[in-house]
Amino acid sequence: EMDGLREETVPVSGRSGAQCSVASTRWYVPFFLILFLYFTGCFTQVKDEKMPYSGWLLLGPSAVYYWYLITEGQIFVLYVFTFFAMVATVMCQRWMGFVLDSNGRFLFYNFIITLGLVLVWVAYLWNDNVLRKKYPGIIYVPEPWSFYTLHIKGS
């Protein structure tokens, strides 16, 4: 029991964790595959293409959206595999003399910032015993909704 709340007060969507994981993966695999395919077309030989100011302004809200998508959808592993594929693609394309264009930079920077946000989120909730029981296992990425209902809603 923590702050007067028992573990049972953390909502579960009515499905088991495995059912949620399979359902999330079914929807997100095509999404990340399309993002990756789009990313592979974002290379150019022009060395001076910079991201416009509007891109820099949208980077924060976009990264927060991806953070929410990854944490609430419980798709961190899929996200990390996509990110590693992006990093490998950048390294391979650089070896062939290509660099990211402004769209590719936006997406790549977005993934980097999102990874940072997820890591900060996990570090912040690392010692939360109730959430630890709800999300057991090696990969611990608590959902924002569970955090909200456990720590904020009752306040």
Q: Are 115 and 83 in contact (CB under 8 A)?
A: yes
Strands (DSSP E) contained in the chain are 43-44, 99-100
Q: What is the pTM of this model?
A: 0.80
* C-alpha 4, offset from chain centre: 31
Distance from C-alpha of 54 to C-alpha of 39, rounded to nearest angstrom: 19
Please, is 143 exposed, middle or buried when counting C-beta atoms within 10 Å of its C-beta (0-12, 13-18, 19+)? buried
- Per-residue pLDDT of the chain (155 residues), as tens digits, is 444 444 444 444 444 444 455 555 677 888 899 999 999 999 999 877 788 999 999 999 999 999 999 999 889 999 999 999 999 999 999 999 999 999 999 999 999 999 999 999 999 999 998 898 888 888 899 999 988 988 888 77
Sequence spans of domains, the chain: 17-152
